[in-house]
Structure 1
């Protein structure tokens, strides 16, 4: 149960709205839940309305902020990238002569493919890259805490550019050892 609660805390807020909406809809449909929740007709109607509103808010929030830049890249281009290469994509809406904006790291994760807590190296990536237009983060596995021994770990980062809402991401699917670098960039 503790694992479930820890995973819920790391869920983006938009998904929390949708989850809350489904819970209220469940109360509206079922009415009585194990004798602990017993809403009357007015309570069931209110729960149905609140559930619908929460789901709508969550969907709008999710659609306004894309977390996966690969959805905007043609699939044949993504498939042709070697697994060891850095996968970072600038938004299509960025003008070619735009001035450089600063990186603001949202998340850095080492070993998320080994089911470790996401964002476990955010502070290190932020320290190295925040405020810069582009950054080659050198992944020093000796300096990072090993979150999952005996598991070949990946490395991923998410960041925003300036005051924008778009979240960009880059990842290395497996680390070779020395000289692994992850490129974060807000410049063309």
Structure 2
């Protein structure tokens, strides 16, 4: 193999390897579980599939619980929403909407690192 070709091949391999390493540090939402209406007797994890479809792989996700197709056994009950998600293997988050939140309330999941004042 010619020396210039060898150098170009090594340089390209190094670039591919670095691109793979930089992606390893990517922070994106990985929904673990979501439950809509646990306070009304809904099954645990009933919103997980919908949350995963809408939010996984994103750095921020605004989720409106009325989109959830999980069982709605008690329509008159004002439902809570609890979501657990990861941003990395060691970073775990939980967020909730209270049962008193109005029907158009939004729960924001985020994996954006905070910086600046107060951080």
Q: Same fold (TM over 0.5)?
A: yes
Please state if 1:185 is matched with 2:110.
Answer: yes
Q: CA deviation at 1:140?
A: 2.1
Q: Distance in 2 between matches of 1:147 and 1:167?
A: 30
* CA RMSD across the alignment: 2.1
Written as runs of structure 1 = structure 2, the 5 A alignment for 1:35-114 is 101-114=27-40
Taking structure 2 as the reference length, the TM-score comes to 0.64
Q: Distance in 2 between matches of 1:107 and 1:148?
A: 21
CA contact (8 A) 1:111 1:147 kept: no
Aligned partner of 1:120 in structure 2 is: 46
Larger strand percent: 2
Q: CA deviation at 1:144?
A: 4.9
Aligned partner of 2:98 in structure 1 is: 173
Larger helix percent: 1
Q: CA deviation at 1:142?
A: 7.7
Taking structure 1 as the reference length, the TM-score comes to 0.42
Matched residue count = 88
Q: Distance in 2 between matches of 1:143 and 1:106?
A: 18
Unpaired runs of at least 5, structure 2? 1-24, 115-119
Q: Specify which structure has the bigger relative contact order, considering alpha-carbon pairs within 8 angstroms and separated by 6 or more residues.
A: 2
Residue 135 of structure 1 aligns to a residue whose secondary structure is strand
CA contact (8 A) 1:107 1:158 kept: yes
Q: CA deviation at 1:143?
A: 5.0
Please state if 1:159 is matched with 2:85.
Answer: yes
Aligned partner of 1:85 in structure 2 is: none
Q: CA deviation at 1:156?
A: 1.2
